[in-house]
């Protein structure tokens, strides 16, 4: 088996950190988790266990410049970890890399069989809340047992698995100087806007708003509107098509990033994902 680490950096994100630790801890072992807290004022997650938790000096500044510094730091961390690990997974705290449940594999067992040359991506699914059919998230049940719809978003098809030291772009969205490969059995679920009340609460986060996150959060939150208003397509049929499109179509301004053009496909998440324990 390959030795695999997972890293993240978070501020004021206790809810998602709790689930990030539980999920990746079960997949990789908590001793292989590295959590960087943005600011010495941030509390250590009570469920961290054997995970390595490191306080960093607060990364000040507006969202774009702060993101660049954050990912520069995490790129350096990943490079160091790759001296003792075969692979490093880097995600935000609200992002979960999932192996297709049909394979009955953990991340460790599946990635141990895959030849990752530089990086690997999962197909991005931006999970939203259907305001007419879905209720507030209850922590007592898994996320995907309560949410059935997602936008097939190239924004979340990220090169989150690294086999070699590289420089991540802001938000893990690309790696400089390298292309990306979307694995046919990996999916990156983004849950940052999967609960309306939670999204509204983030607008009350003074740190985020002071750093210019309001416009960014409003743009992200459109997934809720899309999921609620658009007719959902069959995920089984359209997820492979989206993977094909994102592999071969790129924005002119960034040829090493996936793209879906004007397509805003909402899909019904296949039933088999409901049992994924996130």
Tokens of 5: 């680490």
**Model confidence band, residue 69 (pLDDT cutoffs 50, 70, 90):** confident
Tokens of 161: 């698995």
Cα(23)–Cα(51) distance, rounded to whole angstroms? Answer: 13
pLDDT digits (tens, 9 = 90+) for 14-47: 999 999 999 999 999 999 999 999 889 999 999 9
Tokens of 231: 């007719």
CATH number of the domain at 165, please.
3.90.550
Tokens of 262: 């004007």
How many domains, in total, are found in the chain?
1
- What is the rounded end-to-end Cα distance, in angstroms, of the chain? 23
For residue 203, pLDDT beyond 70: no
**Model confidence band, residue 218 (pLDDT cutoffs 50, 70, 90):** low
Q: What's the mean pLDDT in 220-248?
A: 93
Give how far Cα 240 sits from Cα of 173, 184, 186, 226, 235, Å: 20, 8, 11, 20, 8
Nearest partner of 47 among 74, 15, 8, judged by Cα: 15
Q: ∠ CA(74), CA(79), CA(85), 5° rounding?
A: 110
The pLDDT assigned to 253 comes to 67
For residue 226, pLDDT beyond 80: yes
For residue 215, pLDDT beyond 70: no
Share of the chain above pLDDT 70, in %: 89
SS (H, E, C) the chain: CCCEEEEEEECCCHHHHHHHHHHHHHHHCHHHEEEEEECCCCCCCCCCCCCEEEEECCCCCCHHHHHHHHHHHHHHHHHHHCCCCCEEEECCCCEEEEECHHHCCCHHHHHCCCCCCCEEEEEEEEECCCCCCCCCCCCCCCHHHCCCEEEECHHHCCCCEECCCCCECHHHCCECCCCCCEEEEEEEEECCCCCHHHHHHHCCCHHHHHCCHHHHHHHHCHHHHHHHHCCCEEHHHHHHHHHHHHHHCCCCCCCCCCCCCCCCCEEECCHHHHHCCC
pLDDT digits (tens, 9 = 90+) for 141-191: 999 999 999 999 899 999 999 999 999 888 888 888 888 899 999 999 999
The pLDDT assigned to 43 comes to 94
Domain that holds residue 14: 4-275
In contact, 235 and 270? CB cutoff 8 Å: yes
The reported pTM is 0.92
Tally of CB atoms within 10 A around 241: 13
């Amino acid at each position: 088996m390959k030795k695999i680490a997972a890293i993240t950096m978070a501020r004021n994100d206790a809810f998602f950190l709790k689930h990030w630790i539980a999920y990746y801890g079960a997949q990789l072992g908590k001793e292989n988790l590295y959590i960087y807290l943005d600011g010495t004022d941030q509390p250590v997650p009570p469920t961290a266990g054997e995970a390595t938790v490191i306080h960093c000096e607060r990364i000040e500044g507006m969202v774009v410049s702060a993101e660049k510094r954050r990912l520069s730091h995490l790129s350096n961390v990943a490079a160091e970890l790759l001296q003792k690990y075969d692979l490093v997974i880097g995600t935000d705290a609200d992002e979960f890399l999932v192996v297709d449940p049909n394979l009955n594999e953990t991340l460790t067992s599946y990635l141990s069989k895959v030849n990752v040359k530089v990086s690997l991506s999962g197909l991005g699914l931006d999970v939203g809340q259907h305001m007419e059919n879905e209720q507030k998230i209850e922590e007592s049940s898994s996320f995907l047992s309560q949410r059935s719809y997602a936008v097939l978003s190239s924004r979340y098809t990220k090169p989150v698995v690294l086999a070699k030291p590289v420089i991540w772009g802001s938000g893990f969205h690309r790696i400089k100087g390298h292309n990306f490969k979307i694995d046919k059995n990996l999916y990156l679920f983004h849950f940052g806007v999967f609960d309306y009340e939670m999204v509204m609460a983030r607008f009350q986060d003074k740190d985020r708003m002071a750093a210019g996150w309001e416009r960014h959060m409003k743009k992200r939150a459109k997934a809720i509107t899309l999921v609620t208003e658009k007719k959902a397509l069959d995920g089984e049929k359209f997820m492979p098509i989206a993977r094909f499109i994102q592999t071969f179509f790129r924005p002119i301004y960034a040829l090493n990033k996936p793209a879906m053009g004007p397509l805003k496909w909402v899909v019904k998440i296949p039933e088999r994902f409901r049992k994924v324990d996130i």
